[in-house]
Each structure stands twice: as C-alpha cells, then as structure tokens.
Amino acid sequence: MFTGLVEAVGEVSARHEKAELVELTIESELIAAALAIGDSVANSGVCLTATKVEGDRFSLDVAPETLRRTTLGALSAGDRVNLELPLKASDRLGGHFVQGHVDEVGRVAFAGDRDGDYVLRVEHKSEGDPLVVEKGSVALHGVSLTVTACAAGWLEVMLIPHTLDVTMLGALAPGHGVHIEYDILAKYVARFSEPYLGN
C-alpha cells in the first residue's frame, strides 16, 4: 500500500530480457539504501519486488501480466521512473490509498500551461467514467492527484511546480501512455452497486 507521494525519481540503468520476464535495474541512492531483497517498491505506480540491491541500484523482475498492462516494457536505459516505498502504519497519509495496481494505460491529450496553471489531460476508457469525480483522487504514474475536471473519456489534473520538480510527470507529452489507478474507494462503491444497477 502506498500514498502516491513520490520519494525519488530513479533512472533505469539497465534492462535485460529473461525468458518471459524483463529485468529492470533502477538507480536511486535514496530508495536503494532503504530496500532489502523481497521488499516492495512502486515504480511509476506499479508495485514490484526488489530482487537485487547493490549499492545505489536495485533490480526488479517485470512479469508478462505487468508488461501487458503497463508501459514498463518500453523502458530502456536512461528513462526515469517515479519511486515510492510502501506506507508504514505510523506514517501520515498525505495522499490517498494507492495499491500500485494499474487499472489501465491512459493517453496524454494535453500537457502544458493553461491560464497560468500546468494542466494534464488524460484520456481513458469509458469503464473509468464512474470512477472519476471532480475533486476526487486519482493516481497517475504513481502520483496522488486531485481531479480538477472530468467528462466522458477524460480527466484533468493540475500540477503545481513542486510536483513538476520532484516527479517525472513534466516529461509527459501528448500521445504518451500514463498509468492510471482509480481510487480504491470508488472501485469498491461501483462494485457493490452493480446488483442494484442492472446493466
């Protein structure tokens, strides 16, 4: 379980094909120093297990299911990822509950200045429409954000300068894929409502 508050931006230092898996090695002194083999770490919103920890680098195996459902398979040396360690029971919940389970890969439709605000618009599948509400929470590439506007098939968030400085969201441009994890509370409410809504 995570909160969507990015602790560091890591850089992919190596990528290796291992049968059906892809092994990614990530460089981040801050995160590597806190990891042991078997620990979980969120990588741009995807919860993975550390399989090696060596100095300021750690490695992760990306399974076929994760490769199908995320953009991690397209990463190569030099690419950057948002990193977060799991929530401790004693931590403040500064963002919202984020599981590290990507619901879908959305597409950036707009990224840039609008009336003095940095706005990111992401298009998503229609199945996501009931899970998005204005002023509600959403995780994009593992970052907990507040929805500022939404309609059928898209949502918008505003990024403050701090978020642009400490995450890699500012590198996203129209056409880029972005990991979307909808608010777990919205997903459960939608699921519990199904018997009463028919089709």
Q: Examine domains 8-84 and 104-197 and report if their fold is the same.
A: yes
Give the architecture (CATH level 2) of 104-197: Beta Barrel (2.40)
For residues 89 and 136, which has the higher predicted lDDT (pLDDT)? 136
Cα gap 46→96, rounded to integer Å: 15
- Residues designated as active site: 2, 40, 47, 49, 63, 101, 146
Give the three-class secondary structure for 33.
helix
pLDDT per position as a tens digit, 93-145: 888 899 999 999 999 999 999 999 999 999 999 999 999 999 999 999 999 99
Say what the pTM is.
Answer: 0.93
**9 contacts: CB under 8 Å, gap ≥ 6:** 28, 80, 81, 82, 83, 166, 167, 168
The DSSP code for 184 is H
What pLDDT does 181 receive? 98
Cα gap 185→188, rounded to integer Å: 5
pLDDT per position as a tens digit, 69-88: 999 999 999 999 999 999 98
**pLDDT average, residue stretch 5-25:** 95
Task: Tell whether the model's pLDDT for residue 199 goes beyond 80.
Answer: no
Domain ranges of the chain: 8-84, 104-197
Distances (CA, A) of 97 to 63, 68, 136, 162: 24, 24, 12, 21
Task: Tell whether the model's pLDDT for residue 198 goes beyond 80.
Answer: no
| Phi (first) and psi of residue 3, to 5 degrees | -120, -10
CATH ID of 8-84, from 2.40.160.40, 2.40.30.20, 3.40.190.10, 3.50.50.60? 2.40.30.20
- Check if the beta carbon of residue 83 is closer than 8 Å to that of residue 29: no
**pLDDT average, residue stretch 137-164:** 97
What pLDDT does 112 receive? 97
